[in-house]
A and B are shown apart, each in its own frame.
Chain A
Amino acid sequence: MPPIPRTRIYPLPPKVRGFCHENPDGSVDIILNSRLTYESNKETCLHELKHIKDFVCKEDCDVPELEELRHEK
């Protein structure tokens, strides 16, 4: 079972709601924008959790197309 992602808040540029990143040890961190509301952060957290699966695709991943797909859902 993959480790539970660590969630943190950080002041990010206003157009960035948040991001997730994979660490060299395979663990994942979710960073949320501290400038945004709690509700917005909740939505972003769900979005990022879906992304964690995307780290599996690793090579040849077209990120702009992936985002298009994720935002359509």
Chain B
Amino acid sequence: MKIGSKLLNIRQTNKLTMDELVEIFNKEHKLSVTRGMISRWENDKSTPSMTYLRTYAKVFHLNLNNLLCIDCNDDINDSQSGKGYYNNPETAKLVQELYDNPDRRVLLDATRNLRPEDVKALTLIINQMTKKESSD
């Protein structure tokens, strides 16, 4: 997803009009943003500078790294809905299940944007390892 589409998606998800966003940027963050600038950013006609991107991250409680991950497929809204380290709540749930398994309690070191599919793949690997160990 291009950055413009992400910015549009963020604004629409938060049910803000362009004028309302301009007001937040200018009044609360002392910037000089116009409606035209936001329109150009959202339509990928221009790219916001780091100052504006940082403000987007601050206003919408986003991870700046996710915002800058222009070509990745991670859902930007995930970072707003997840509690704790992981951006995706489904991932957080699966990671919790891995820990709660009384037979083999697992704790990970993984990136924030870990996908549920990655956790499922990891669970298969762990099961294979367990089987191999018990047959050795």
Q: List residues of A whose CB falls within 8 A of some B CB.
A: 10, 12-13, 15-24, 31, 44, 47-48, 51, 54-55, 58, 61-68, 70-71
Chain A residue nearest to B117 (CB atoms) is A13
Which of B84, B92, B109, B110 has most A Cβ within 10 Å?
A: B109
Bound together, the chains give a CA A24 to CA B84 distance in angstroms of 28
| Nearest neighbor of B129 in chain A, beta-carbon distance | A10
Residue of chain B at shortest CB distance from A17: B109
A17 to chain B, nearest CB (A): 4
CB distance from B115 to the nearest CB of A (A): 7
User: Is B85 within 8 A of A22, CB to CB?
Assistant: no
Mostly, the B contact residues are mixed
Known contacts A64-B84, A68-B84: A16-B114 contact under CB 8 Å: yes
> Tally of A-B residue pairs with Cβ under 8 A?
87
Q: CB-CB < 8 A to A24: which residues of B? A: 103-104
Interface centre among A18, A62, A63 (most CB of B within 10 A): A63
Q: How far is the CB of B48 from chain A (nearest CB, A)?
A: 27
Binding site for A on B (CB under 8 A): 82-86, 92, 95-96, 98-99, 103-111, 113-115, 118, 121-122, 125-126, 129
Contact A55 B105 (CB under 8 A): yes
The interface residues of chain B lying within 8 Å CB-to-CB of A54 are 107
Contact (Cβ within 8 A) A19 B122: yes
Across the two chains, which residue of chain A brings its CB closest to B86? A64
Contact pick for B82, options A15, A63, A64, A70, CB 8 Å:
A64
Contacts of A62 in B (CB 8 A): 84, 96
A64 to B97, CA, bound (A): 11
The answer to whether A64 and B118 have CB atoms under 8 Å apart is no
